[in-house]
């Protein structure tokens, strides 16, 4: 690669570092735990509410993702849309500051979280579509893995700063009041600043050229282009089956991300500071896995890389449901981490490899759609089972079939 290409690759990967603060701090380890433990009436009810909000966001994403991909294909440019959706997500994160430790804040918390989640996923459509513009075909798996790995590292650093500066600090930075939970509520604006700051390089260093079609024309043609999507999938059955498999196993991953910390706090009695420490350890192991499997992806192929990750997630996940010891939860929880990144990164590189050049954004729109079209299903089932059995452990058990079914479809149907 030339020096300019290296800078573009670094800037593209740094966006993963930037937006990683949202899944690490808001979706999984800090704000989700705060909501179920301090805002909701009780952890079981809070778990169900969080599931409903995640489900609603998934439905919105299912409607918007293919449209956004078609619009980007017609307009030929991804960065303006990436900037717009990133801005909405950043603003929503900042708004979480106003969620106080009271049931009165439940509507604000859930609506704002859902908006941020939708914007986060829509930004990912255009971010992922930039991958083939910064990496040659032979290095798609490697660059995708580097991005995921850097993202996990960003999650580690962000969680560490939150832990040291706010949660465990007896005198939180900026003079925040612990009695009003300001030391936890601040993670919203902190995430917003983090995301905005580290997203700047991708807009400065990644170059793209459009088709000359204006924004209004791109929207109109994008809407019309949706009619051809089904025909496209009928013609490319390999892509259709991959998207179906991704839809199922990503639903399992999304549900696991959304409720892992809630499970740790509710079932194993972890305090918020301990949940954050666990999150740092998990992100570290996940980041190392993403980096290591980046080379494996290019050597053995994306499909095999995904399959290895799903098999390991299924078996280790099953063991996590059987244990009672917090020590074993730590051991197995960290052990499962290295397989998160490879499944996600290899799925992104497989989508890039399968996508025709003229339909990349459309395929990534469908890729985002496949990862979210049933995103309401996993959290909804988990929430229902949790309430029915009054057990978070029973609810978490519903995740494993998603991994197994997704693996079966991937292996049998994707060449």
* DSSP output for 345-381: HHHHHHHHHHS-GGGHHHHHHHHHHHTTTTTTHHHHH
Cα 336 to Cα 74: distance, rounded to the nearest angstrom: 40
Please state, rounded to an integer, the average pLDDT across all residues of the chain: 82
What's this model's pTM, rounded to 2 decimal places? 0.73
pLDDT at 4: 44
CA atoms in the 13 A half-sphere facing the CB of 382? 37
Cα 179 to Cα 361: distance, rounded to the nearest angstrom: 47
Q: Is the pLDDT of residue 65 over 60?
A: yes
pLDDT at 6: 83
Q: Is the pLDDT of residue 196 over 70?
A: yes
Highest mean pLDDT among 10-14, 151-155, 231-235: 10-14
Q: How far is CA 201 from the centre of its chain?
A: 21
Contacts of 72 by beta carbon, 8 Å cutoff, 6+ apart: 78, 81, 125, 126, 129, 218, 222, 361, 362, 365
Instruction: Provide the angle, in degrees to the nearest 10, between the axes of the packed helices 43-75 and 106-129.
Output: 30
Burial tier of 101 (Cβ tally within 10 Å: 0-12, 13-18, 19+): middle
Q: What is the pLDDT averaged over residues 205-230?
A: 65
What is the DSSP secondary structure assignment for residue 138, as one 8-state letter? Answer: G
Q: Is the pLDDT of residue 3 over 60?
A: no
Closest CA to 381 of 110, 111, 46, 47: 47
Collapsing DSSP states into helix, strand and coil, what is residue 109? helix
Closest CA to 28 of 66, 54, 61: 54
Cβ of 394: how many Cβ atoms within 10 Å? 15
């Amino acid at each position: 690669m030339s020096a300019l290409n290296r800078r573009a690759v670094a800037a593209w990967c740094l966006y993963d570092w930037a937006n990683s603060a949202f899944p690490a701090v808001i979706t999984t380890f800090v704000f989700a735990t705060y909501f179920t433990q301090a805002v909701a009436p009780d952890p079981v009810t809070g778990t169900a509410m969080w599931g409903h909000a995640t489900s609603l966001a998934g439905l919105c994403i299912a409607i918007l993702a293919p449209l956004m991909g078609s619009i980007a294909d017609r307009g030929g440019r991804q960065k303006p849309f990436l900037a717009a959706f990133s801005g909405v997500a950043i603003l929503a994160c900042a708004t979480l500051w106003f969620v106080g430790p009271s049931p009165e804040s439940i509507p604000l918390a859930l609506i704002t979280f859902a908006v941020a989640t939708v914007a986060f996923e829509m930004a990912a459509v255009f971010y992922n579509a930039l991958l083939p513009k910064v990496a040659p075909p032979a290095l798609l798996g490697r660059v995708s893995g580097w991005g995921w790995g850097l993202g996990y590292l960003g999650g580690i650093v962000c969680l560490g700063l939150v832990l040291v500066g706010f949660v465990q600090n007896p005198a939180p930075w900026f003079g925040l009041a612990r009695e009003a939970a300001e030391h936890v509520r601040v993670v919203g604006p902190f995430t917003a600043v983090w995301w905005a700051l580290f997203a700047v390089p991708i807009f400065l260093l990644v170059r793209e050229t459009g088709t000359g079609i204006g924004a209004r024309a791109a929207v109109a043609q994008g809407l019309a282009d949706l009619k051809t999507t089904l025909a496209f999938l009928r013609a490319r059955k390999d892509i259709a089956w991959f998207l179906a498999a991704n839809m199922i196993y990503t639903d399992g991953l999304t549900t696991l991300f959304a409720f892992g910390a809630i499970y740790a706090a509710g079932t194993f009695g972890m305090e918020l500071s301990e949940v954050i420490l666990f999150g740092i350890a998990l992100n570290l192991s996940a980041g190392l896995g993403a980096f290591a499997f980046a080379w494996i992806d290019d050597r053995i192929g994306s499909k095999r890389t995904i399959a290895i990750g799903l098999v390991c997630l299924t078996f280790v996940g099953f063991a996590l449901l059987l244990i009672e010891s917090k020590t074993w939860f730590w051991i197995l929880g960290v052990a499962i981490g290295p397989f998160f990144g490879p499944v996600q990164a290899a799925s992104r590189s497989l989508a890039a490899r399968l996508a025709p050049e003229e339909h990349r954004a459309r395929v990534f729109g469908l890729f985002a759609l496949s990862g979210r079209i049933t995103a309401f299903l996993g959290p909804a089932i988990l929430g229902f089972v949790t309430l029915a059995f009054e057990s978070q452990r029973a609810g978490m058990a519903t995740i494993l079939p998603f991994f197994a079914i997704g693996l079966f479809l991937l292996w049998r149907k994707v060449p």
